[in-house]
Amino acid sequence: MSARTAHQPVRVIIGFSPGSASDFVATLLAPELSRCLRREVLVERHAGDNGAIGARMVAAANPDGATLFMATLGTHALAPHFNPHLGYDPINDFRPVCLVSRSPLVLACHPSIPAGSVERLIAIGRARAHKLTFASSAVGGAPHMAGELFKTMAQIEMTHVPYARTEQLYEDLQQGRVALSFNNIMSMAPRVKCGTLTGIAVTGRDRSALLPELPAIGESGLPGYEVTNWLGIVAPARTPVDTVVMLNAAITAVLRAEAIAERLLQAGIEPGGGSPGAFARHIGMELARWRPVIARAGVLA
């Protein structure tokens, strides 16, 4: 970072509201990152448009390392394929710094739906014994696309029901007004553990230590299915390489701290890490992977 900005706070912009995975992770990391960088790190929330409002802010910011964005699967691999008015390019407008975390979604249903397993849910869908609806908090977000990928691979019909408010989504799911949902493990796990919702499976490659009784979808009826919700820090495109390397080292050190790793794992979130180049390759692969899924689903913003 330049001498001119050395005493300025580092702003980490997140595109989602308090309670989101982005907010939880950024807020957890900020104090330790402040200590590593020896400068204040502030978390700023600019929610809206599936995270695109925050992403546009950072894409247009000075490339001095003082303004960073918490990129997500949604902002950098999903939205570019369905939102023609996104206002940023996920590759050309940012410089990847570090993959921060990975976490699965949880597939859960209302207890009245007799679907205790992926195989049973698929059988219900194919027999059309119940009208299957699945809820998500945004069109084109990771939970929505997890459902679209599931119904494509399972060859069943499910109707997507989008919600503007997560609180209303859970109220309707718990009242049985919608059948099921794919949603983040932080908010799903307490409801599954207390029996308010019936957990069916997790969307990651492997089981989650937070809900070890739930199988991965890929191991229980849909081989090859995987949706991992990831977060990572990116900077404006022309940020100097030495600044990116320095930020990467600081973030990696924070993620390796025992207390931080433990808090993340307790929330069902796997700490990330790796080089800027590895994160850039990850974003590119995710963009390519989701293009045909979104095209088949016909999703438009």
CATH fold group of domain 3-103+229-297: D-Maltodextrin-Binding Protein; domain 2 (3.40.190)
Q: Please state the domain extents for the chain.
A: 3-103+229-297, 104-219
With a cut of 90, say whether residue 56 has pLDDT above it. Answer: yes
Domain spanning 104-219, CATH architecture: 3-Layer(aba) Sandwich (3.40)
If one compares 170 and 48, the residue with the highest pLDDT of the two is 170
Distance linking the first and last C-alpha atoms of the chain: 37
Examine domains 3-103+229-297 and 104-219 and report if their fold is the same: yes
Can you read off the two tokens belonging to residue 233? Answer: 């820090």
Considering the entire predicted model, what is its pTM?
0.92
d(CA 154, CA 50) in angstroms, rounded, equals 27
With a cut of 90, say whether residue 296 has pLDDT above it. Answer: no
* pLDDT tens profile 236-294: 999 999 999 999 999 999 999 999 999 999 999 999 999 999 999 999 999 999 999 99
Are 95 and 236 in contact by the 8 Å Cβ rule? The answer is yes
pLDDT for 191: 96
